[in-house]
Amino acid sequence: MSATLSAIENMDTAQRELLVRHQDHGVAIVQLNRPEATNALSLSLQAALSRTFAELSADASVRCIVLTGGDKVFAAGGDIKSMDSCGPIEIMKRHTERVWAPIEKCPKPIIAAVCGYAFGGGAELAMHCDIIIAGQGASFAQPEIRIGIMPGI
């Protein structure tokens, strides 16, 4: 087993779902990393995004943040499986607006680098950014209406 694979297996879920790399000239790359779930925004991934953006906002060495997914998908949206057994009140009590506040209020420019799908919560996440750079195959949609819910972010 490679050292990299071993290190990944020892990370907690939030660390595996969100990768952060610091580049030259003060650029931080934040990458969604749930390819098995098309980067669906699970509660743990949302919490990791919140913590990460709060930390990067306070980090004086970071001048700009690039938020990305993978080559084929940015984020397919909310984690619908986690909502299956929840009613509207339970969903409301999650207060996801608090989770997204560090992204919304980030004092540094955020660039969404979108390749592939940015659906539902994924499109909303991209819209939280200051600039969206869409690859040739990028696709944006708000499909919530098909399952009877409102865009929540």
Share of the chain above pLDDT 70, in %: 76
Instruction: Choose between 65 and 97: higher pLDDT.
Output: 65
Tokens of 144: 């919530």
pTM above 0.85, yes or no: no
Q: How far apart are CA 114 and CA 123, in angstroms?
A: 9
pLDDT in tens, 23-37: 999 999 999 999 999
**CA distances for 151 relative to 80, 112, 129, 141, angstroms:** 12, 19, 17, 11
pLDDT, position 70:
84
Whether the Cβ atoms of residue 108 and residue 64 lie closer than 8 Å to each other:
yes
**CA distances for 20 relative to 12, 15, 51, 112, angstroms:** 14, 9, 12, 14
pLDDT, position 55:
98
Q: How far apart are CA 58 and CA 107, in angstroms?
A: 9
Q: Where are the beta strands (DSSP E) in 8-130?
A: 18-22, 27-32, 64-68, 73-75, 110-114, 117-119
Tokens of 76: 């397919």
Average pLDDT of the residues in 41-60: 94
Q: Which residues make beta-bridge pairs with 127? A: none
Mean pLDDT of the chain: 84
- Residue 11 CB-density burial (10 A; 0-12 exposed, 13-18 middle, 19+ buried): exposed
Q: Is the model's pLDDT at 148 over the cut of 80?
A: no
Average pLDDT of the residues in 65-69: 98
Whether the Cβ atoms of residue 26 and residue 64 lie closer than 8 Å to each other:
yes
pLDDT in tens, 70-128: 888 999 987 566 666 666 677 666 666 778 899 999 999 999 999 999 999 999 999 99
Per-residue pLDDT band at 144 (split at 50, 70, 90): confident
The one-letter code for the residue type at 34 is R
Average pLDDT of the residues in 17-24: 96
b/e burial code for range 124-147 (CB count within 10 A of at least 16 → b)? bbbebbeebebeeebebeeebeee
